[in-house]
Amino acid sequence: MALRRRLARAVFLVIFVGTAGTMTVTAQGITDPAVPDSALDRVDRLRAEGQFQKARAALQVLRGQYGDPVALLWRASFTQVDLGKVAQEKEKAHPHHQTANALADSALTVDSTNARAHLAKAVAEGRLALDAGTKERVRRSRQIKTHADRAIELDSTLADAFHVRGRWNREVSDLNFFERTVVKTIYGGLPESSFEQAVEDFTTALSLEDVRFHHLELAKTYLKMDREDDARTHLNRVLALPKKEYFGDRYKEEAQTLLNELE
C-alpha cells in the first residue's frame, strides 16, 4: 500500500494540473465564421479577467444562438476547467472537470484538426486525473502527451501547448528508476521524456508568449537539473514582468519563495 501511495503521488505529478494557471487561449484568427469575433473576444476577455461564471453564461447564450461550433466548444471546455480550479471544495470541482472533458471530446468530434480542441482535451484529462487511481492516472497521462503533441503539430504557435508538454516532460523525467520500473511493469509504461525536451518546450512557449507562467515553470525545470543560475534568471524575470495572467500574483509569490530558498 505504501508503494502504491508513493507511486500514485509520483504519477500525479505527471499530470498537467496547472496549479494556478488559467489557459487564456484565444482564437488567433481561427474562428467559426458564424460566431461574431466580438462575441468570442468578450468570452476570452471575461476568462482573462477571472470572471468565469460570466464567461460560462455568455457561452451558453452563444451556443443557444449558434449551436456547437468548435470555437465555442473548446472555450466552454477551458471555462469549465477554470471553474473547477477556483472551486472551494474538491467534490465541487470534479463535475466541472467531467464537463470540460466531455466538451473537449465534442469539440474534437466537430473538428479533429483544431489545435485548441486538442489542447482542451489535454488539460481536461489532467484535471480528471486528480481524483483517479494510479492506473487511470497513467492512462490519462498518455492522453495528455498525445493531445499536446497533436496540438503542436496542428499549430506550432500555440504557446500553452508547448507549456503543457514541457510540464509533462519534466514530471515524467523526475520519476526515479524504481518508480519508472513499476509504472512500466504494472501499468505499461509512459512515452519517452527528458528534462532537455522540457527546457526546449518551455523556451519555445516563451518565444511565443513572454509571461510569468512560462518563466516560472522553466525555472523549476532548471532547478531539477541543478542549473541554479539559469533558474535564478527566470525567477527574477517572473518578478520583473508586469502581471498579464489572472493568477500572475501567485506566480510572483512562488518565484520569490524559490529565490529565497536559493539564498
Cβ density class 128-158: b for 16+ within 10 Å, e for less: bbbebebeebbebbbbbbebbbbbbebbeeb
CA distances from 58 to 30, 39, 79, 207 (A): 19, 8, 11, 32
Tell me: the pLDDT tens digits for 198-218?
Answer: 999 999 999 999 999 999 999
Residue with the larger pLDDT of the pair 3 and 248: 248
CA dist 200 and 222 (Å) reads 11
What's the whole-number mean pLDDT along residues 155-170? Answer: 95
Q: What percent of the chain has pLDDT over 70?
A: 82
CA dist 104 and 75 (Å) reads 9
Domain topology for 2-209: 1.25.40
CA dist 115 and 38 (Å) reads 21
pLDDT at 20 over 60: no
Per-domain residue ranges of the chain: 2-209
Confidence of residue 244 (pLDDT cuts 50, 70, 90): confident
pLDDT reported for residue 15: 44
pLDDT reported for residue 116: 98
Q: At 10, list the grid cell.
A: 509520483
pLDDT at 24 over 60: no
Helical pair 70-86 and 115-128, crossing angle rounded to 10 deg = 30
Residue with the larger pLDDT of the pair 91 and 83: 83
pLDDT reported for residue 85: 87
Residue with the larger pLDDT of the pair 11 and 164: 164
pLDDT reported for residue 133: 73
Confidence of residue 62 (pLDDT cuts 50, 70, 90): very high
Dmax (CA) for the chain in angstroms is 56
CA dist 77 and 98 (Å) reads 10
The whole model's pTM is what? 0.86
